[in-house]
Amino acid sequence: MTSAEQILDIINKEPSEVSAETTAAFGGELLNSEQYEKAIEYLKFALEITKNKTGNESITVARLYENLAVAYLKIENYGLSATASRKSIRTKRELLLPTNPALAEGLEQLGSIYTLQQRFDEAIPPLEEALELITKIYEEAHPLVASIMMNLARAYAPSGHFDKAKILFSKGIEITKELYGENQPETIH
C-alpha cells in the first residue's frame, strides 16, 4: 500500500478524526503524483482545518498556500496560483525572520508565476527582493541564488532591461556550472 493509499484509508475510516496534517500529507502525495485537481481539494480542506485551529498565523498555513500555488500553477490557473503565493508570502512575513530562505523562495515563486503570465513588470519586484534576501543568507555560489538570478533575468529581458538580464543570466549560469559541472542538466539552459 502506497503512503497516499494509507493516508486515504485513515481519512475514509475516521473522517471525524482527520487531522490537518494527514489531509495535507495526502494532498502533497496527490500533488507529487500529478493528480492536481484532487490535490487542490485536499490542500484546501487541510487549510480550512488548520485555519480553524490556529488562525492565519501559522507556518503550516503558509506552506499549504505555497502547495496550493504549485497545484494551481500545474493546472495553469495562474490567477489562483498568484493569490495563494501572495497569501503564503504575507503569512511568512508575519512569522519568519527576513533571513529565512523560505521567504525568498516564496518571493521567487510569485515572481515566476508572474513571468509565466508575461506580467514581467510585476515579476521584477518580488524577484529583486528574493535576490536581495537570498544573497544576504547564502554565499553567491548557492543553487537558490543562481535560480533567482536566472528567473530575474527572464523577467528583465522582456521588460527592456537587457544589460541587467545578460549580467544576471551569465552569473546564474556561472554559479550553476561551478556547482554542478559543465555538462549537467542544471547547467544547460
pLDDT band at residue 187 under the 50/70/90 scheme: low
- Residues 6 or more apart from 176 whose CB is under 8 A from it? 143, 146, 184, 186, 187, 189
Residue in this structure with the C-alpha cell 500545474, named with its chain if needed? 74
| pLDDT-above-70 percentage for the chain | 87
Give Cα 122 distance to the centre of its chain: 17
Mean pLDDT, rounded, for 173-183: 88
Q: What is the pTM of this model?
A: 0.83
pLDDT tens figures, 81-119: 999 999 999 999 999 998 899 999 999 999 999 999 999
pLDDT tens figures, 39-80: 999 999 899 888 988 888 889 999 999 999 999 999 999 999
Query: What integer pLDDT is reported at residue 10 of this predicted model?
Result: 60
